[in-house]
Amino acid sequence: MIDLIFPDGSKRSYEAGATGREVAASIAPSLAKRSVLVKLDGALLDLDRPLQAGGKFELLTRDAPEALETIRHDASHVMAEAVQELFPGTQVTIGPAIEDGFYYDFARDEPFSLDDLAKIEQRMKEIVDRDEPIKREEWDRDEAIAHFKSIGEAYKAEIIESIPAGETVTVYRQGNWKDLCRGPHLPSTKAVGKAFKLTKLAGAYWRGDHRNPMLQRIYGTAWGSEAELEAYLLRLEEAERRDHRKIGRAMDLFHMQEEGKGMVFWHDKGLTLWRVVEDYVRRRLDEAGYVEVRTPQVLDRVFWEQSGHWEKYRPNMFVCETEEGEELSLKPMNCPGHVQIFKFGQKSYRDLPLRMAEFGACHRYEPSGALHGLMRVRAFTQDDAHIFCREDQIEEETARFIELANSIHSDFGLERDHIALATRPAVRAGSDEFWDKAETQMLAAARKAGVEPVIAEGDGAFYAPKLDWVLKDSIGRTWTCGTIQLDYVLPERLDAEYVGEDGQKHRPVMLHRAICGSLERFIGVLIENYAGAFPLWLSPVQVVVATITSDADEYALKAAQALRARGLRVETDLRNEKINYKVREHSLAKVPVIAVVGRREAEEVKVALRRLGSDGQQILELAEAANTLASEASPPDVARRAGA
RNA sequence: GCCGCCUUAGCUCAGCCGGUAGAGCGACGCAUUCGUAAUGCGUAGGUCAGGUGUUCGAGUCACCUAGGCGGCACCA
């Protein structure tokens, strides 16, 4: 007998081997009908899986949040069944549930077309209507290999071959179709429902390795209900509307062109935004005790050889040769340059921690397929800094940095989702003892700053573990911006030393850190976060002074000048157009404040302010408006200083 | 880099089975001087990404190249 503890706390005994469906039926036949999965001690099981042990027991209907992942996983199976029915000879590989949906990778010589997706979707709906029971079977591993080979499923056979010999494997069967799968699954294809949609076609390497053949991946999204599907599709549209490439063009912030792939032409308005961001970060660094430096764009390969980057990243560096036979590289990173400054002259323990910052322009030859608007470029500017410190200062410095980064992100209106601790990667420099120590130090530092990081196994840099900030934007998407990496390797390789209290030479530790990451990317994130409607302090154009009739032209110029004198970014619109037209145009251009002036305002030395997103107006004396707006437009740190 | 798709006026996009290029917005000109999300009329603007081929004839079909987009791989 086994004891099942129900969510209400009651306990009942059943024969070992009873299934979830039988348990449900013992309570109410309708429950057996509605249930699709069993949750036993937190693990999901098939409804018809015989229960061998007791525990905390729950029956899940398909509306349960926990069932969604299974719905998606089943949708991928239904898709695979549909594909193999429609396109005989196509091999299946793997098809998991992912965030918001699922995919399945197929091997087929002929490419799928967008038209095929509609056909597959149609067939999937038919399979759901067929209400095919989904049955779990246990197979002998070797028999499974032989079987899948015999039906031409080479990839499946290969997957099973990677399972240790002697183990049983599970196969799920629905109708005439079957797939090797760990499960669990819903009891029938009908339970998948029809709130799904195939969304895109893509290539994907077998087993995620670029040396393997490329498979065809079909992505889909699946939800518990039509309404959720609709809501999801709406979210996609919203994200598209915010695309920084579209907004960048519409707001005349920047452009890119084929002669400079992955490079940004910043237009004046975009550069204004850039300067606001850079100036703000610079003030925060000054305040936090950093010094700012600037190092050469092009350096001899010797530095990159010493740092180890030449060996690992040479194909991704922009290298040039001189007439005299030198081999130079555009800097892909700032670290070696900063170490040269550190090494210039003699450093003492009294100089530590030395926080050396640079808005460093770097170039990396990124693969063409990786480029993506401002988010992934070949020429970018890091808000980089290296903190040279003693080992006993690591925790304190890391904790201080965590606070600084948090404060800066929040000033930009970005919420923190979590901080990840990226641990040792498979290919790495340094001994296990070193990694044990470094990972422990990073974790301790994070905790000291009151942060419990989420462990990202194997995501560290080759020389160091790191903490990465994962931020959430206004529509819930996450972005990784900001990092701190603990490095014992580079100081050694580039021979950085300081004189300790004991008069001996010692190696400093380097903390590589960035808060925005690349300014290009960070600005891209800001554009998408605000959909171009920036808060006043960030807005490239803060105020447009718009006239109603040409009688107010002279006054409008004077008013604009008065606002500019207070540091505001002001444009004037004296065009011979109706005020309606001007209001519409500047509203669409996301200008935060429109100052309307007509004959009346000109006579009374006032302005009528209209703020983006509200249709009211506020009539103020010009001097008062200048005061109010100037104070509202203060960057957050400046405002805090003024308030203190 | 790999797989797939896309590329028509400054922008957004039509253009059927191959028959010789179209709209809206914008720009420019003229009229209009107007009180908070589009004033009217007019004008100009295109080697249909580039190349090769098929064809009596190519924006439309085929192939190649480039760029873009969506993924994959990569991301110090």
Give one DSSP letter per residue of A190-211, joined into a string.
GGG-S-EEEEEEEEEEGGG-TT
pLDDT band at A464 (very low <50, low <70, confident <90, very high): confident
* Residue nearest the C1' of B67 (CA based): A258
Q: Please say if the pLDDT value at position A609 is more than 90.
A: yes
A7 contacts A59 by C-beta, under 8 angstroms: no
Q: What is the pLDDT of residue A431?
A: 87
For the residues A181-185, what does the mean pLDDT come to? 93
Residues of A annotated as catalytic are 335, 364, 382, 384, 386, 466, 512
**Does residue A615 lie within 7 Å of nucleic acid chain B, judged by its CB?**
yes
Is residue A141 within a helix (H) or strand (E), and if so which, with residue range? helix A141-150
Q: What is the pLDDT of residue A462?
A: 83
Q: Please say if the pLDDT value at position A644 is more than 80.
A: no
Residue A353 CB neighbour total at 10 angstroms: 18
Q: What is the pLDDT of residue A461?
A: 87
Cα gap A579→A97, rounded to integer Å = 53
Tokens 């040269």 map to which residue?
A340
Instruction: Single out the residue of A72, A120, A128 nearest to residue A216, CA to CA.
Output: A120
* CA-atom Rg of chain A in angstroms: 31
Residues in chain A: 644
Identify the residues numbered 494 to 513 in chain A whose C-beta atom is closer than 7 Å to any atom of strand B. 512
**Does residue A533 lie within 7 Å of nucleic acid chain B, judged by its CB?**
no
Helix/strand/coil for A75: helix
Q: Please say if the pLDDT value at position A52 is more than 80.
A: yes
Q: What is the pLDDT of residue A537?
A: 98
pLDDT band at A19 (very low <50, low <70, confident <90, very high): very high
pLDDT band at A168 (very low <50, low <70, confident <90, very high): very high
- pTM to 2 decimals? 0.94
Q: Please say if the pLDDT value at position A643 is more than 90.
A: no
Q: Which nucleotide is closest, CA of A550 to its C1'?
A: B33
Q: Which amino acid is at A449?
A: A
Token pair recorded at residue A578: 């109706």
Chain B, protein-covered positions (CB within 7 A):
1-5, 11-12, 31-39, 66-76
A462 contacts A428 by C-beta, under 8 angstroms: yes
| Distance between the alpha carbon (CA) of A201 and the C1' atom of B59, Å | 27
Q: Please say if the pLDDT value at position A430 is more than 90.
A: no
For the residues A320-340, what does the mean pLDDT come to? 95
Strands (E), A442-542: 454-456, 466-472, 478-487, 498-499, 505-506, 509-518
Cα gap A183→A180, rounded to integer Å = 9
Instruction: Single out the residue of A7, A4, A18 nearest to residue A48, CA to CA.
Output: A18
Q: What is the pLDDT of residue A224?
A: 96
Domains of chain A: 2-61 (3.10.20.30), 67-241 (3.30.980.10), 254-530 (3.30.930.10), 543-643 (3.40.50.800)
Helices assigned H by DSSP within A376-419? 394-411
For the residues A218-243, what does the mean pLDDT come to? 94
> Cα angle at A382 between A524 and A260, to 5 degrees?
65
Instruction: Single out the residue of A33, A112, A104, A34 nearest to residue A74, CA to CA.
Output: A104
For the residues A138-154, what does the mean pLDDT come to? 95
| Distance between the alpha carbon (CA) of A576 and the C1' atom of B31, Å | 12
Query: What percent of chain A shows pLDDT beyond 70?
Result: 100
Model confidence pLDDT, tens digit, residues A495-543: 999 999 999 999 999 999 999 999 999 999 999 999 999 999 999 999 9
Q: What is the pLDDT of residue A183?
A: 87
Q: Which residues contact A175 (CB under 8 A, 6 or more apart)?
A: A81, A127, A130, A132, A189
- The ipTM of this complex is 0.94
Averaged pLDDT score across all residues of chain A: 95
**Does residue A635 lie within 7 Å of nucleic acid chain B, judged by its CB?**
no
For the residues A405-421, what does the mean pLDDT come to? 96
Residue A397 CB neighbour total at 10 angstroms: 22
Q: Which one is predicted more confidently, A462 or A509?
A: A509
